[in-house]
Copies of this chain bind each other. A is one copy, B any other.
Amino acid sequence: MKPSDQKRAEGFLFTDQYHLTMAQLYYRMNLHEKTVRFDHFFRDYPDYGEHQAGYCVNAGLADLMDWMQETHVSEADITRLRAQTGRSGGALFAEDFLKWLGANGSFEALSLMAIPEGRVVHPFVPLTVVEGPLAMAQILETPLLNHLNYPTLIATKAARIRESGRGQLLLEFGLRRAQGRGATVGTRAALIGGADYSSYVGASDLLGLPPRGTHAHSMVQVFMALGEGELDAFRAYADVYPDDCLLLVDTIDTLESGLPNAIKVFEELRRKGHEPVGIRLDSGDLAYLSIRAAHMLDQAGFPDTVIVLSNNLDELVIWQILTQVAHEASRYGVEPDKLIARLAFGVGTRLITSWGAPALGGVYKLVAVRDGGEWRPAIKISETPDKVPNPGSKRVWRLYDQRGKATADLLCLEGEQPADMERLTLHHPYDPGRQRGLARNEISELEPLLVEVVREGRPVHEPPTLEAMREIRRADIERLDPGVLRLVNPHVYHVSLSEELWQLKQDLIRRARGSDD
């Protein structure tokens, strides 16, 4: 598949077949232009096995909006659909439907409310609410989920890694291990969520950041194969990049060869009036080696050089390394805090794939249909109570306590004004036994989370810059309770339904069960 051909697959037909067959059914039943609302939300934080997220960082919205803007059905798409046959051998899509789709196959009639990128988000909270004609809102399901699930997953992972790395420089190195060109949006999400820079040149450029990198083992190997050695390779690097000299020291033996050679070259550099940048460790016991490396560099008079660590890092590995450094560095004559302050982390595979939980289970559920000028809430029943979506047109408020910490996200029905209520009842989303009351004066702030971003196909909200999204993320994480931030077994953040929404949900469940008994 040529790159130029792949683009063809990623336009209007970047969706699942059943949306198109449902769209034709809606057309046939004259339901295709009924106004509906779909909620996009996820049910569970990523669970990485040994550790779990207690919050997510929302991402992907701007790319979805760009895709919706650029995407229209083409004559070629229609031709392809026309060629599809059913089991009887006849055309699967009828000409009248294809004609309608040819004229209406864009997302111009849809409106979106959404929680902005960079914000901390939680399960069951509508992150995106789509309103518009049924057929096109249905076809959008898969592209919307594709554009939002993965970036939110990666922004979340990056935020965790940044937290566990105590805010030290975080470099994204994952291009080679990503799902093909998915790397481009993955890199963007990593940079929103917590990575400072990426090694991926094209994506960095697109996002207005300089790419970052060091050198690979192959550079040293070339010199060795030609009868020279690691020292010659390092010298060449220092010659070409005297002010950007960061050397990979584990091609032969980190402590016996790489570090002594690097220090030799650093001394030569300094004599020529340049200061070296640092070293990278890419194998072995990174905690132990970083302590030993720091000691050797300190002794040699290079206490300010950076030590970049890489090799299958994630939040848990980084946490372990920092814990060990904190406990043991002083035994080797290295001040732990000073060592930690010179560390940087290069994270590839485990960030770009969200290793341990490589997908976010975001879903897109019909919540209301407009009929005769009125919104009729929609429901779906399930034997697993958490799979029953919250019905109706909703709004979301974040409640902050008197410390200024976020204490709950409250889902209300449209029109409810929780700010005016003296006492709020917060229902667990599906467990009838769990609810709590909150007096208005226990709440320092009620913040609406959903923002109107697209009105009938037209963007009405300037997407924040990368730096602004990072600032949003920093501010939101700061307002989380430390228990929610915990790397392992985090405290469960409360997402609650208002009394009115809870009652509506119970009514609809009863009715759905009753009417079909």
Chain A residues packing against B (C-beta within 8 Å): 1-11, 13-22, 24-26, 28-29, 31, 34, 36, 38, 49, 62-63, 66-67, 69-71, 80, 84-88, 90, 92, 134, 138, 141-142, 145-147, 149-151, 173, 175-186, 188, 199-207, 210-222, 224-227, 229-230, 236-237, 239-244, 250-253, 256-257, 277, 283-284, 349, 352-355, 358-362, 365-366, 368-369, 371, 376-384, 387, 512-513, 515-517
Given A1-B66, A244-B86, A283-B383, also A230-B516 (CB < 8 A): yes
Interface pair A241/B21, CB less than 8 Å apart? yes
Pairs A-B, 4 closest by C-beta atoms: A179-B182, A182-B182, A9-B202, A18-B213
Contact of A199 among B16, B181, B203 (CB under 8 A): B16
Complex Cα–Cα for A260 and B365 (A)? 25
Task: Name the distance in Å between A170's Cβ and chain B's nearest Cβ.
Answer: 15
Contacts of A20 in B (CB 8 A): 201
Contacts of A184 in B (CB 8 A): 1, 6, 9-10, 180-181
Complex Cα–Cα for A36 and B227 (A)? 15
Contacts of A182 in B (CB 8 A): 178-183
Interface pair B243/A88, CB less than 8 Å apart? yes
Contact of A251 among B87, B204, B253, B380 (CB under 8 A): B380
**Knowing that A13-B201, A177-B361 are A-B contacts, what are 20 other residue pairs whose CB atoms are under 8 Å apart, sorted by A's residue number?**
A2-B69, A3-B71, A6-B184, A9-B200, A9-B202, A16-B175, A17-B201, A29-B236, A138-B216, A141-B216, A141-B218, A179-B179, A180-B185, A221-B379, A222-B378, A226-B376, A229-B516, A250-B382, A283-B382, A353-B359
| Residue contacts A-B, CB under 8 angstroms, 15 given | A1-B62, A2-B69, A8-B205, A17-B199, A17-B204, A21-B213, A25-B240, A146-B175, A146-B180, A178-B182, A226-B369, A229-B515, A253-B516, A283-B383, A349-B361
Interface pair A179/B175, CB less than 8 Å apart? no
Complex Cα–Cα for A379 and B21 (A)? 57
Contact of A252 among B88, B186, B239, B512 (CB under 8 A): B512
Interface pair B18/A202, CB less than 8 Å apart? no
Task: Name the distance in Å between A144's Cβ and chain B's nearest Cβ.
Answer: 8
Complex Cα–Cα for A24 and B215 (A)? 11
Contact of A25 among B25, B173, B199, B219 (CB under 8 A): B219
In the complex, the count of this chain's copies comes to: 2
Task: Name the distance in Å between A92's Cβ and chain B's nearest Cβ.
Answer: 7
Contacts of A69 in B (CB 8 A): 2
Complex Cα–Cα for A381 and B229 (A)? 13
Task: Name the distance in Å between A104's Cβ and chain B's nearest Cβ.
Answer: 17
Contacts of A181 in B (CB 8 A): 6, 10, 14, 180-182, 184-185
Contact of A244 among B71, B87, B204 (CB under 8 A): B87
Contacts of A203 in B (CB 8 A): 9
Given A222-B366, A251-B381, A381-B253, also A213-B183 (CB < 8 A): no
Contacts of A201 in B (CB 8 A): 13-17, 20
Interface pair A25/B236, CB less than 8 Å apart? yes
Complex Cα–Cα for A49 and B356 (A)? 10
Contacts of A369 in B (CB 8 A): 222, 225-226
Complex Cα–Cα for A203 and B382 (A)? 32
Complex Cα–Cα for A49 and B193 (A)? 27
Interface pair B359/A355, CB less than 8 Å apart? yes
Interface pair A215/B253, CB less than 8 Å apart? no
Contact of A80 among B5, B84, B205, B368 (CB under 8 A): B205
Complex Cα–Cα for A515 and B353 (A)? 39
Contact of A10 among B3, B88, B221, B515 (CB under 8 A): B3
Contacts of A383 in B (CB 8 A): 253, 283-284
Complex Cα–Cα for A513 and B256 (A)? 10
Given A87-B277, A185-B180, A358-B355, also A213-B17 (CB < 8 A): yes
Contacts of A362 in B (CB 8 A): 176
Q: Name the CB-closest residue of B to A188.
A: B1
Interface pair A86/B243, CB less than 8 Å apart? yes
Interface pair A210/B179, CB less than 8 Å apart? no
Interface pair B176/A387, CB less than 8 Å apart? no
Q: Which of A29, A379, A513 has the most CB of B within 10 A?
A: A29
Interface pair B16/A146, CB less than 8 Å apart? no
Contact of A177 among B141, B145, B376, B381 (CB under 8 A): B145
Task: Name the distance in Å between A189's Cβ and chain B's nearest Cβ.
Answer: 10
Contacts of A252 in B (CB 8 A): 380-381, 512-513, 516
Contacts of A513 in B (CB 8 A): 252-253
Q: Name the CB-closest residue of B to A94.
A: B240
Contacts of A147 in B (CB 8 A): 180
Contacts of A218 in B (CB 8 A): 22, 38, 138, 141, 365-366
